[in-house]
Amino acid sequence: MGERTHVRLTRFEHAGRTSLGLVRNDEVVDLTDAGDVPRDMAGLLTAGPNGLEAVARAATAAPRVALGDVRLLAPVPVPGKFLAIGLNYADHVRETGSEAPEFPVFFNKQRTCVTGPFDPIHVPRASNLVDYEGELGVVIGRRCRHVPADRAFDVIAGYLVVNDVSVRDWQVRAPTMTLGKSFDTHGPTGPWLTTADEIAAPEALRIRTWLNGELRQDGNTSDMIVGIARQVEVLSTVFTLEPGDIISTGTPAGVGFTASPAVFLAPGDVVRIEVEGLGAIENPVIEEPPETVTIG
């Protein structure tokens, strides 16, 4: 795609408008009014290779903005499905005192939890047992069903960093875990979507999480119990996967609730998660603002 570095697709806010962009070094190529490029990430993912070809053509002449002058947004703001897997790293299984599941344990994060790579995480009124989970996120690029494991990487558009923020007491109140995983702002993603062709070995990436500058998680996607291909195979056996669906692939050891004493997120904290080759997200923690009370 022209200036060959990582292909990093982003959504960003600048000068009062939200735009689709391509991150190049310390700049963002503004693709909003660029030729035949789809106008949003959902359209771009649905367009597949044709969409990326349009991006390549447009990027040579499209205007650029300094990366430091924009606000990066969640790359996929409204995924059709936001799926995740539990207990998928052996060291995390051990630290929880559990046993590895005989079959993958998937759950939903409601898509309204999605927030940007540098936006605040809320400590909700309902609980202060808020925890971090640094994870690799997979973004589906093709509508598909019954995908065999050996074809799974053909349907992946790219990868991003996910914080599977968890409210631990709500998580255990229902076997599905969905309630404790779906509070608003509890799905930070980003900082951009790195296309799949740029990541040669997605199952050999270092994942690290820092809390207030202290390293808390240091794992590698090579340690996943259920690999990416098997996850896609299992999920697509049950339902159709669509462009923009996110699969969060599990977290390594070092989460807060297993520490002694337990560590939970509190206002004033900062959580930083980095996945090798994909960049980092960094989210401040604040109390849930009063204006989030809405009816209507």
Q: How far is CA 141 from CA 6, 159, 161, in A?
A: 17, 11, 17
CB 141 within 8 A of CB 154: no
Where do the H-state alpha helices sit in the chain? 41-47, 49-59, 90-96, 168-171, 178-181, 228-238
Rounded to an integer, what distance in angstroms lies between the CA atom of residue 238 and that of residue 216? 35
Rounded to an integer, what distance in angstroms lies between the CA atom of residue 174 and that of residue 20? 38
Q: Can you give the pTM of this predicted structure?
A: 0.96
CB 109 within 8 A of CB 245: no
Q: Which two tokens stand for residue 253?
A: 């050891």
pLDDT in tens, the chain (296 residues): 334 345 999 999 999 999 999 999 999 999 988 878 998 999 999 999 999 999 999 988 899 999 999 999 999 999 999 999 999 999 999 999 999 999 999 999 999 999 999 999 999 999 999 999 999 999 999 999 999 999 999 999 999 999 999 999 999 998 899 999 999 999 999 999 999 999 999 999 999 999 999 999 999 999 999 999 999 999 999 999 999 999 999 999 999 999 999 999 999 999 999 999 999 999 999 999 998 877 76
Domains plus CATH for the chain?
8-73 (no CATH), 82-292 (3.90.850.10)
